[in-house]
Chains A and B, each alone.
Chain A
Amino acid sequence: MKRLVPAFLLLAVAAGACDSPSGGGPRVNRVFVTPPTHSLNAGETVQLSAQARDLDNELIDDAQFQWASLEQDVASVTQTGLVTALKTGTARIVATADGVADTAVINVIGSAAECEAPGAGLSLGVGQSVQRSGAAASVLCLEGGATGAEFTITPFFGSRTNSATMVLRAAPAGVTTPSGPPNPSLAPSLFLAPDDAGLSAQRDGGFHTRLNERAREPLARLVPGAREAFRRRAGARLSLQQQSPALGTILPLNVSQDPCEDPDTRIGRVVAVSQRAVIVADTMNPAGGLTDEDYQHVAATFDTLIYPVNVAAFGEPEDVDQNGRVVIFYTRAVNELTPRNAGFIIGGFFFGRDLFPRTAQGAFREGCPGSNYAEMFYMLAADPSGAVNGNVRTTEDVLTSTLGTVGHELQHLISASRRLYVVEGVGGTDWNEDVWLNEGLSHIAEELLFYHRGQVAPRMNLGASILAQGSATRDAFILFGQQNYLRYLEYLRNPETNSPYADDDDLGTRGAIWAFLRYAADQRNGNDNQLWFNLVNSPLVGLANLQAQLGTDPIPLFRDFAVSAYTDDAVAGVPAVFTQPSWNHRSLAQAISNGYPLRVRPLSTGTGVDVTLIAGGVTHLRAAVASGRRGSVLLSAGGAPLPETVWVTVVRTR
């Protein structure tokens, strides 16, 4: 219950104080209005009552109250406390006695009758749109016009609390189910990768959810000392990788999931050394895997493509071991992380502990014995016979996915090492970016590699033509683009429970944040690499980081991005904010996945639709209105008008 004394009421009460009816009686100490909150449909009434009590909490029988509505267009109130709901919204009703006030909150739920008022309908041309938020979006009146019209209504839950969920109900009247295009697949479709496209279906690319939350206190404790040691370049003297090892050198490397204790040492053999990479293969990897020639190809590609593209976008990784190279360890330890017959594959990982010195020295009084103390990450080994957990990883599949994964992990390495040792102002013991944004930037790294290898660029609206047999873009898409695309399709299958900033690293989240970051860069239409660099080299994190680097609140951008997933390359004449200039997803989806799998919900009169949205989630509702008619869609949350965290976009699509 809010206690509110508007200034004008205070003035009114003060002006009347000389002839106060309470006279010399007990002074009012508190006022109570009941019920404190109530929900009504427009046209309904509710009787409020008020009590006044003195300092001894005794009821003042003869207290007289003045009643006022602070939102008189939403609900009115008589001087007896009778409230009449007028239109959708929230009204504050204030009762005052002797200058003491209390407030009741009245939620007025819309009704289809509101759409009967002259001029209430939305008359939009094809491609035109309107956006509303909160209670103002609770009643939508749609005009069929002279020819009939179809609309997409997209409620977006713009909560900044990425673990929040909301309930939404859509109650349509006077509408029919849309019939014509643009109409994505109404039912979620299974992804079918045609063999001749050379695409791997259901491939995770290596990053499925597997949150490891075991105690990591040792790393936090080491942060100040590690920074000091790095400044003095003290730790590298004991690094095995300080001098670039020769081919054939045997290296013991810790693959334990524990950061500093309980080492799980595997023996690796140096199989390729290039200007920027040291490739090490676990001597216990399954037989029949990658050859030394394959590893040398990875090292060469790392030098000529992956490293320069990542560094240009995100900055140079620090060099704790002072050898100028990144250690890439192909080990069965990565294969062991994926259970037998799991629906995902972990293709690699980066572990921040490897950036911490192993031993105490000087002012750095404590080391992390489990650290390999090198810029490094860990990669999936080929396993043609399924020796590890029964999961077959053919050499061909690993070669197809490994370069993109290397680019992905390199972004993680750059982000962690720069935020730990280079970026000014990263405070506290936590130097990490939020998971959803960190993973999104790694997926951007994969996309950048696609552009470079495929000799194409952002904002070219790439569609099915990139899959032409024998083309450079096709090969590049298979190596660096398809995994992002498959994750985006996963997002499209259910944008209600997937979100770009969801508090997880599910495939749908990854697909959404990749596509969102691309969308945001395209809308910004500036120097993309400057944006990526700023996001990685920032002391800020998460939504605050996005806001600082984009120069605008990202929540409305998330909203418009979600609308663009429907409208881009489908609805003529939409504003630029509802387009995705780099990709023609509908065209690509048609070519490789039997249609565009965006989940939509057709509306029909008399059938309410209940939806659950996570923060950042949307639902795409479709409705048609016949010529000369006016339809309505009432939107509510929990039986009350929409909260201010909900935005609704209406686009006329046909």
Chain B
Amino acid sequence: MTRALLPLALAVLAGCPPPAPRAQEPERLTGRLAVVGSAPMNVRLSLRTPDGRGVFLEGPAAAELRALGGVEVEVEGRMTEGGVFQARGYRIVSVDGRPVLVGVVEAAPGGGLQLRLPEGAAVRLAGGADRLRAGQKVWVQGPEQAQGSVRQVQVQTFGVIVP
């Protein structure tokens, strides 16, 4: 406790305004997700950062991140005193170096499937879309086409984030 108060006391003595509470500032980490350890007792979800360090991930977003092994992500949350990152949210940076579309699969008007993106837009799913089911949260990759106002992606590769 004494150590924690020391910087604040020094700041007051120096005439500086007190530092803003750090709890308000979410931290962000970028890296590649990996499932590490040995089964069945030692298995953990880890984020391998570009400097080669491994950080265990937990928190509300961990369940979805568990389905994204090998994916390059940016996680948002807080590093605990124990060195575990409590992930509250995330975004996919890339898969195999290329961007992806992330959303929830739903039935498209007139048949077929479409992907509802977080900002509300819908993208029709073609190609390998028959491997997907309505209700799944997925990422997809493939050539995109636009016919008038209708946007479409030919699904070549995908990952299921929430079955």
Contacts and interface: CB of A to CB of B under 8 A. Distances in A.
B56 A217 contact: yes
A430 B38 CA distance: 13
Given A161-B70, A164-B95, A637-B127, A107 B34 contact: no
Contacts of B141: 643
Interface in B47-80: 48-49, 51-56, 58, 62, 66-71, 80
Nearest to B36: A432
A331 interface: no
Nearest to A337: B40
Interface in B14-54: 34-46, 48-49, 51-54
Interface in A391-419: 412, 415-416
A640 B142 contact: yes
A541 B52 CA distance: 9
Interface stretch (A4-12, A172-180, A346-354, A466-474): A346-354
A429 B38 contact: no
A161 B56 contact: no
Interface in A14-43: 34-39
Contacts of A640: 127, 142-143, 154, 156
Nearest to A409: B38
B154 to A, nearest CB: 4
B84 interface: yes
Interface in A153-167: 159-167
B39 A163 contact: no
Nearest to A412: B38
B81 interface: yes
B147 interface: yes
A439 B40 CA distance: 11
Nearest to B48: A541
A435 B38 contact: yes
Contact of A217 (B80, B95, B157): B80
A416 to B, nearest CB: 7
A64 to B, nearest CB: 24
Contacts of A425: 52
Contacts of A429: 54-56, 82-84
A346 B43 contact: no
Interface stretch (A144-152, A203-211, A231-239): A203-211
Interface in A425-452: 425, 427-435, 438-439, 442
B157 A165 contact: yes
A193 interface: no
Interface string B92-114: 00011000000000000000000
B66 A213 contact: yes
A159 B96 contact: yes
A163 B35 CA distance: 11
Contacts of A415: 38
Contacts of B96: 159-161, 164, 645
A354 to B, nearest CB: 10
A257 interface: yes
A541 B34 contact: yes
B155 interface: yes
B142 A209 contact: no
B83 A107 contact: no
A542 interface: yes
Contacts of B147: 35
Nearest to B57: A430
Contacts of A211: 35, 39-40, 43
A217 B58 contact: yes
A360 interface: no
A125 B66 CA distance: 46
A638 B144 CA distance: 11
Contact of A428 (B38, B83, B142, B146): B83
Interface of A: 34-39, 105, 107, 159-167, 207-213, 215-218, 220-221, 223-224, 257, 337, 346, 349-352, 412, 415-416, 425, 427-435, 438-439, 442, 503-505, 539-542, 612, 615, 637-640, 643, 645
Given A161-B95, A216-B84, A430-B54, 18 more contacts: A35-B146, A36-B145, A39-B145, A160-B96, A161-B70, A161-B96, A165-B160, A216-B44, A224-B83, A349-B40, A351-B42, A428-B49, A429-B84, A438-B36, A438-B37, A541-B36, A542-B34, A638-B155
Interface of B: 34-46, 48-49, 51-56, 58, 62, 66-71, 80-84, 95-96, 126-128, 131, 141-147, 154-160
22 contacts: A35-B146, A37-B143, A37-B146, A159-B95, A163-B67, A163-B159, A164-B95, A166-B128, A167-B128, A210-B40, A221-B81, A346-B40, A429-B56, A435-B43, A505-B43, A539-B52, A542-B34, A612-B128, A615-B70, A637-B142, A638-B127, A638-B155
Nearest 7 pairs between A and B by C-beta? A638-B127, A167-B128, A221-B82, A430-B54, A428-B53, A503-B69, A429-B83
